[in-house]
Structure 1
Amino acid sequence: MANVQRSTSSRFDLRNGIYLAVSAISVGLVLLTWWIASSNEWVNPLFLPSPGDVGSAFVTIAREGYKGTSLLAHIGASMQRIAVALMLVFLTAVPLGILCGRIRLLRAIFDPFIEFYRPLPPLAYYSLLVLWFGIQDTSKIILLFLGGFAPMFIAAVYSARRIPIDRINGAKSLGANKLGLYAYVIFPSCLPDLLTGLRTAVGVTYATLVAAEMIAAVSGIGWMVLDASKYLRSDIIYAVIILMGMIAILIDTAIRLLIQRVSPWIEQ
């Protein structure tokens, strides 16, 4: 039995190693193509700076900051806005979504509003948020909150509706009251789907970051991209976009590890 488990583990590690090597090769080919194209000036350097220029721009902003603010401060400002928005999303969308999943009348009340604004582009209503809440961080956090609320709410509703009725009846037969039922049966049953929904909500919120920082902002990595575009600093634009992608990968990896720890049977 132990030999079979070791053999299965070895094949799994080998497949993971192969996939990792393929990913590394594909990234390397893209970087090589980028270097060849920029070296031969197949594309105007204004639109496609060389990898060396992008690397130099990153080193410069990492050492000297951007517009009088350090790079870590810009990253911190963006992460703070996202963190506050996601905390509010989890505290509101999860309980409301679970209740709507269990109570059909409640779902009928909230579902039309969620389905109405969910497909709207963030910029379509951001101007209204600025009018209502001003140009400070409040309007930006609310925009990020709205971007992440819908996918989190839908995940909570879906997970609450698919809980087996036998599990609910079993808990009731053991004397669980309504509060205990939600706290010890329904919420733990929903948790894997909620974490998957959180992963989606983080992606949507992160993608909305540039829109949230494009009006009257003076900090944040999204604002850096927009400000650099005003001066045609494509090297800084590429450097910050790559940085944003790396941060997104780190956040997504952390959430995937959390999902794997909570529900190891779910394939990521």
Structure 2
Amino acid sequence: MNVKQSKNPFEITLTLLTWLIVIVLWFIFTNVGEMSSLLLPSPQVVWETFMNIVKNGYGNVSLWQHLSDSFVRLFWAVSLAFITAVPLGLLSGYFSKFKAIVDSIVQFYRPIPPLAYYALLILWMGIDDGSKVTLLYLAAFAPIYIACVAAVNSVSQDYILSSKSLGASQKDVFLKVVLPACMPDIFTGLRTAMGFAYTTLVAAEMTAATSGIGWMVIDASRYLRSDVMFVGIIIMGVTGIMMDGGLLLLENKFVFWKGKD
């Protein structure tokens, strides 16, 4: 059975209609009601602020530079997390002794809020991007690692035993049976990790930073610039959807066997 995630035209229409209703209610509530623009700016104000930031930037930094700085930090961190968490997670799921070494460390730091150890990272690595990338890396590593371990544990033993009965070595079983079977869960873990890292981005950019979308939102909050905060939040939401959609496209292209028996 093919269970690839795809929306038919009716579902797309429902999604667009939902957001249209949200925007209309937002417009009515801020233009007819007595809500202060300081608390909830109207769509017109947010749009004007967005256009102003596009033209003039924010904090003497262009919008494109804010986006570039944030995404460079994010993609470096997630890329490093992916290339380290996937092999460690697969090996931990495949070899119980390896899991005994790695798993407890991951499970120890995973529940700790990022801000709890961010100050330590700054003390150890300074205020440059190194500490920020490391914070995002730690946020992204755990979801990918856990997804890989769970994926290996969910591989059907029938596949493994059948391949061994046909003469496959342990290396062949791992590379040609276990790894392809784990790819759908690996992509799910990557999508989750991207979301966690993106939410941590605000925490990473709120200390000793002068650029980035997260910094823009935090800086605007200091001056009660709710219009700028809304612009930053909307940008983060839209770009987050775009990144997740891009990962879904890659998954559908390279993991074409997902959902097929």
**TM-score of the alignment, normalized to the shorter chain, above 0.5:** yes
SS in 2 for 1:252: helix
> Any stretches of 5+ residues in structure 1 without a counterpart?
1-12
Residues 86-165 of structure 1: matches in 2 within 5 Å? 86-165=78-157
Cα deviation, residue 26, structure 1 = 1.7
Q: Which amino acid aligns with 1:35?
A: F
1:177-230 Cα distance to aligned partner (Å, 9 max, x none)? 344333333222211110011011111111111001111011110001011112
Cα deviation, residue 107, structure 1 = 1.3
Q: What is the aligned counterpart of 2:252 among 249, 253, 260?
A: 260
Q: Which amino acid aligns with 2:127?
A: I
SS in 2 for 1:46: coil
Cα deviation, residue 65, structure 1 = 1.4
> Any stretches of 5+ residues in structure 2 without a counterpart?
1-5
1:25-79 Cα distance to aligned partner (Å, 9 max, x none)? 2211211111112113422110111111100111111111122221111111111
Within the alignment, does 1:56 sit opposite 2:48 as a pair? yes
Q: What is the aligned counterpart of 1:194 among 178, 186, 190?
A: 186
RMSD: 1.9
Tell me how far apart the structure 2 counterparts of residues 212 and 86 of structure 1 sit (CA, whole Å).
Answer: 14
1:147-183 Cα distance to aligned partner (Å, 9 max, x none)? 0111100000011122222322333344443443333
CA contact (8 A) 1:85 1:141 kept: yes
Cα deviation, residue 93, structure 1 = 0.6
Q: Which has the higher contact order (CA 8 A, sep 6+)?
A: 2
Q: When the two structures are superposed, what TM-score results if normalisation uses the length of structure 2?
A: 0.91
CA contact (8 A) 1:96 1:153 kept: yes
Partner of 1:70: 62
SS in 2 for 1:208: helix
Tell me how far apart the structure 1 counterparts of residues 229 and 89 of structure 2 sit (CA, whole Å).
Answer: 38
Within the alignment, does 1:23 sit opposite 2:6 as a pair? no
Q: What is the aligned counterpart of 1:46 among 17, 38, 43?
A: 38
Within the alignment, does 1:217 sit opposite 2:209 as a pair? yes
SS in 1 for 2:219: helix
Within the alignment, does 1:32 sit opposite 2:24 as a pair? yes
Tell me how far apart the structure 2 counterparts of residues 265 and 209 of structure 1 sit (CA, whole Å).
Answer: 31
Tell me how far apart the structure 1 counterparts of residues 115 and 35 of structure 2 sit (CA, whole Å).
Answer: 31
Q: What is the aligned counterpart of 1:169 among 139, 156, 161?
A: 161
Tell me how far apart the structure 2 counterparts of residues 78 and 179 of structure 1 sit (CA, whole Å).
Answer: 39
Cα deviation, residue 19, structure 1 = 2.0
CA contact (8 A) 1:260 1:266 kept: no
Q: Which amino acid aligns with 1:198?
A: L
CA contact (8 A) 2:184 2:258 kept: no
CA contact (8 A) 1:192 1:263 kept: no
Taking every aligned residue pair, what percent have the same amino acid on both sides? 45
Tell me how far apart the structure 2 counterparts of residues 264 and 176 of structure 1 sit (CA, whole Å).
Answer: 22
Tell me how far apart the structure 1 counterparts of residues 256 and 113 of structure 2 sit (CA, whole Å).
Answer: 33
Within the alignment, does 1:227 sit opposite 2:219 as a pair? yes
Greater CA drift, 193-202 or 41-50: 41-50
